[in-house]
Amino acid sequence: MALIKCSECGKEVSSKAHSCPNCGNPIDTAIRCPKCRSTNVKLISGTSKAVSIALWGAFAANKVMSKYVCNNCKHKF
């Protein structure tokens, strides 16, 4: 269980909580793209990373180091 800060009151809240016990603010646990803030993201599979390394070598570093890709803006993070 990780602790995250409530966006409303700043208190530490369990990442598994549905709302802040201090102020009642709903806790958004959806993964968001840091560039466009979309929740339309996809996990980059290990197989996809392995194929990229085999085909592109060092040029695939951005994909290999990233965990998710945004389906809206194609940002890898």
Higher pLDDT, residue 13 or 64: 13
pLDDT digits (tens, 9 = 90+) for 7-55: 899 999 998 889 999 999 998 878 899 999 899 999 999 888 888 888 8
> Across residues 46-66, what is the average pLDDT?
84
Q: Is 4 exposed, middle or buried (0-12, 13-18, 19+ CB in 10 A)?
A: middle
Q: Supply the DSSP symbol for 51.
A: H
Domain ranges of the chain: 1-29, 31-77
In angstroms, the CA 20 to CA 10 distance is 10
- In b/e form, how buried is each residue of 19-35, taking b as 16+ CB within 10 angstroms? ebeeeeeebeeeeebee
